[in-house]
Amino acid sequence: MNLKPTDIRLKLADTGRDRGDHDLNPGLLPPIDRMRAAAVLVPMVARPEGTTILLTKRTEHLQHHAGQISFPGGRIEESDASPEDAALRETEEEIGLTRDRIELVGRLGLYRTRTGFEITPVVGWVTPPFDISPDRFEVAEVFEVPLSFVADPKNHERRSREWQGVVRHFYVLPYGGYYIWGATAGMLVNLAERLNP
């Protein structure tokens, strides 16, 4: 699947509806006034063989979300001028990908998590060549998934498990040896729906 930044801008001209863990689990979210603002970068990489999505695997020793697949990003700080600024700052801190290699092309709707985050997914177009230098404390691995895989609804599996006495439903996109689930999978499903209305 090959796209250009102009294609993505058109498809993301309207951010679409807000999404979150509550889509598959009604009533799961904390009150809106207790949400903490965060931003992630959804890096779309222009490869000759087709567009890919760049993801990270978090290190196993982290206190939160250890070993999980995620987008680069984190909390929006007071010093950040916007969610875009936060996403770009966090991306450079986590994987060393500098903002001069990223062309911002739009946003997805907010994504709210059961853990109390209101995430702004910022979509960026990354043109190779670029350097990656992961923060080894936070990031165990950086890898790419073909956009054609993400965009195919057949790869959007719904699973469930019991957590603290409650059955929770979530999306999973198993890719090779990677288990992409939770908020990251939910945002990828949202991206796929925006690109293939």
pLDDT digits (tens, 9 = 90+) for 144-160: 999 999 999 999 998 88
Contact 127, 51 (CB under 8 A): no
Range of the domain at 27: 5-195
Find the CATH number of the domain harbouring 90.
3.90.79.10
* pLDDT for residue 1: 77
Q: Would you say residue 85 has pLDDT above 70?
A: yes
Nearest one of 43, 19, 73 to 186, comparing CA atoms: 19
pTM of the complete model? 0.90
Q: Which residue has better confidence, 18 or 29?
A: 18
pLDDT for 40 beyond 70: yes
- Residue positions counted in the chain: 197
Query: Of 69-73, 121-125, 169-173, which range is least confident?
Result: 169-173
- Alpha-carbon distance 185 to 179, whole Å? 9
Count of domains observed in the chain: 1
